[in-house]
Amino acid sequence: MNEINKATAELQAEMEQRMALNPGGTRRIGNFGFIELEECWGDEATIINTARISTTNQRLKNGHDFNERDRNLLYQLLRDQHGTPFETIYFRFRFIAPIFVLRQWVKHRVSSWNEFSMRYRKPISVAYIPDKAARTVDGYAVLDDTVMAEYEALMGQLFQWYETQYSAACTRIDQARESGELAPKEGGRDPYRGRARELLRNVMPVAAYSDVYWTINFRSLMNFFKLRRKKDAQYEIREYADAAYALFAARLPLLAETMQRVIEESEQSPSSEEHAGRAE
């Protein structure tokens, strides 16, 4: 790995800390990727209670109160696509992923998205490096070691160029203030440094990493899992989707089991709709 900037080193230390504090709710992915299921609001009982509100005042306290009738109802609601009860539980994930992965991820629009901004911060100075599995198709390496060495070197050059040019821009701005060419800096962010960051970020590759908070209800999360865990989904987003699913399943195993049952039955059904094309 090339030399990283201070903010990236702090982020790396934070990931290691979160892995230690929440080992069951975190995963590392690839050379710098990370995902954590930070919060979950509601559970299987929430779904059943909201579905039954029109017919009864009986309430379940949590998923441990489920009997066979409750489990069957959960299955039937999901199988028959009664959507709104599944919109009553929410999850907040934090993930660090390459920008090209985010471009696919953000297409799942029924969610809330808060992302690291290179307008206000220097880039995360690490690029995604495809491992052997990522660059192999049916046993054939589409990029050899020579190409990968050049790839890594080029990524490092781009980050170094940014650091050099941003430092030079900051020096020129400071000198202009000292000479009186620019007015002294007042409170808040420096607009001159900010504009330099806005322009210099344009050279950052889509292999650069970003940092995101993603809040989503289960109905939308299930759609994400159905599309992004499929074999024809792109390798990198599938890695994140599989990790997110593992964290979700550990938190709500009954719901995960029921979801998998419904998905598998749907895929095996001769009347199920065929999805045209690959997931983009």
Active site (catalytic) residues? 228
Contact of 248 with 37, CB cutoff 8 Å: yes
Per DSSP, 30 falls in state T
DSSP code string of 256-271 = HHHHHHHHHHHHH-TT
DSSP code string of 36-55 = EEEEEE--HHHHHHHHHTTT
Matching residue, tokens 């000479």? 179
Sheet holding 90-98, edge to edge: 26-29, 33-41, 90-98, 209-217, 112-115
Outline where 201-252 has alpha helix (H). Answer: 218-228, 235-251
Neighbours of 252 (CB within 10 A): 20
Q: CA-CA distance, 81 to 92, in Å (whole number)?
A: 23
Q: Which residues contact 116 (CB under 8 A, 6 or more apart)?
A: 124, 210, 211, 212
